[in-house]
Amino acid sequence: MSFLADTALQQRFVDALNANPAFATQAAVFDGAIQIEVDDDCLWLKVYKGRVIDHQATPSPFGYTFKLCGSSAAWQLLVSGARKWADLTYPGKRRFDDDPGLTRVGELSVDIRIEGNLVEAGRLTEATFELAYTLRQVAA
């Protein structure tokens, strides 16, 4: 079970996201759903005009516009502050302290994947940064 399974944390996160003016600005013209997956735990967020108007801890029958998914270990890197959102979601390796021989140079994997409508996800890049850092604040 990951930190995302905590229903009190989910509510605090939704409240904090709705209080975040930068998220509201960046998602002002979005009408869709963002699903966050941490291992087998899920948080589905219905976002309309920059506000989360509904959420649930299970996938919605209506689906999602895009989802952010990764292992609990990857999300903990974000929550702990050990890694930045860009480090976890953009392909490429930027730190080689665990690879002194530089054997993984040019690797194009990500720790947290973005799936679904990538056009909408790309359009909401700044909103997902705000979402990620709001989650880090609430979960830390």
Matching CATH number, 3-84+113-139, of 3.40.50.10860, 3.30.1050.10, 3.50.50.60, 3.20.20.30:
3.30.1050.10
The pLDDT, as a whole number, for residue 98 is 74
> What ranges do the domains of the chain cover?
3-84+113-139
Please give the structure tokens belonging to residue 95.
Answer: 């730190």
The pLDDT, as a whole number, for residue 92 is 67
Closest CA to 9 of 69, 50, 48, 55: 55
Q: What is the pLDDT of residues 28-45, one digit of tens each?
A: 999 999 999 999 999 999
